[in-house]
Amino acid sequence: MKHLPLVFWLVCALCHFCATSQTYAHGFAGARFFPATLSSDDPFVADELSLPTVSTIRTPDDGGTRQTDISVDIAKRITPQLGIEIGETLTALNPHEGRAANGFGNLELAGKYQFLKNDAHEAIASLGLGVEVGGTGSSSIGADSFSTWSPGIFFGKGFGDLPEAIRSLKPFAVTGQLGVAIPTSASTRSVTVNDETGEHELEIERHPDVLEWGFALEYSVVYLQSQVQDMHLPAPIDRLIPLVEFALETPLDRGEQGQTTGTINPGVIWAGKYFQIGAEAVIPINERTGTNVGVIAQLHFFLDDLFPHSIGRPLFGGKQ
Amino acid sequence: MKNMIVSLFLIILTGTARVEAHAFLKEAEPSVGCTVPSSPNEVRIRFTENIEPAFSSIQVFDSSGKEMDKRDVHLDRSDRALLHVSLPRLGPGTYKVVWRVVSVDTHVTNGNFTFRVTR
Other CB atoms closer than 10 Å to residue B65's CB: what's the count? 7
pLDDT tens-digit profile, chain A (320 residues): 555 555 555 544 444 433 333 333 468 999 999 999 999 899 999 999 999 999 999 988 777 899 999 999 999 999 999 999 999 999 999 998 888 999 999 999 999 999 999 999 999 999 999 999 999 999 999 999 999 999 999 999 999 999 989 999 999 999 999 999 999 999 988 888 887 888 888 888 899 999 999 999 999 999 999 999 999 999 999 999 999 999 999 999 988 888 999 999 999 999 998 999 999 999 999 998 988 999 999 999 999 888 888 888 899 986 54
Query: Residues with Cβ < 8 Å from A261, sequence gap 6 or more?
Result: A248, A249, A284, A285, A286, A288, A289
> Hey, are the CB atoms on A307 and B19 less than 8 Å from each other?
yes
Domain that holds residue B31: 2-117
Check if the interface score ipTM surpasses 0.90. no
> Hey, are the CB atoms on B114 and A309 less than 8 Å from each other?
no
On whether any CB of chain B is under 8 Å from the CB of A305, the answer is yes
Distances (CA, A) of A59 to A137, A183, A256, A286, A294: 20, 22, 19, 12, 9
Other CB atoms closer than 10 Å to residue B71's CB: what's the count? 11
CATH number of B23's domain: 2.60.40.1220
Collect all residues of chain A within an 8 Å Cβ-Cβ radius of residue B108: 23, 25, 320
Q: Which residues of B touch A (CB under 8 A)?
A: 4-5, 8, 11-12, 17, 19-22, 24-25, 27-28, 31-34, 48, 94, 105-114
Assigned fold of A24-181+209-306? Porin (2.40.160)
> Hey, are the CB atoms on A306 and B114 less than 8 Å from each other?
no
Interface A-B, measured as beta-carbon pairs within 8 A, has a size of 81
Domain count of the fold of chain B = 1
- Domain range summary for chain A, segments of one domain joined by +: 24-181+209-306
Closest C-alpha to A215, from A75, A76, A54, A34: A34
Residue type, A172: F
State pLDDT tens for residues A141-178: 999 999 999 999 999 999 999 998 999 999 999 999 99
Our CA-based measurement puts residue A74 at a distance from the nearest CA of chain B, in whole angstroms, of 11
On whether any CB of chain B is under 8 Å from the CB of A189, the answer is no
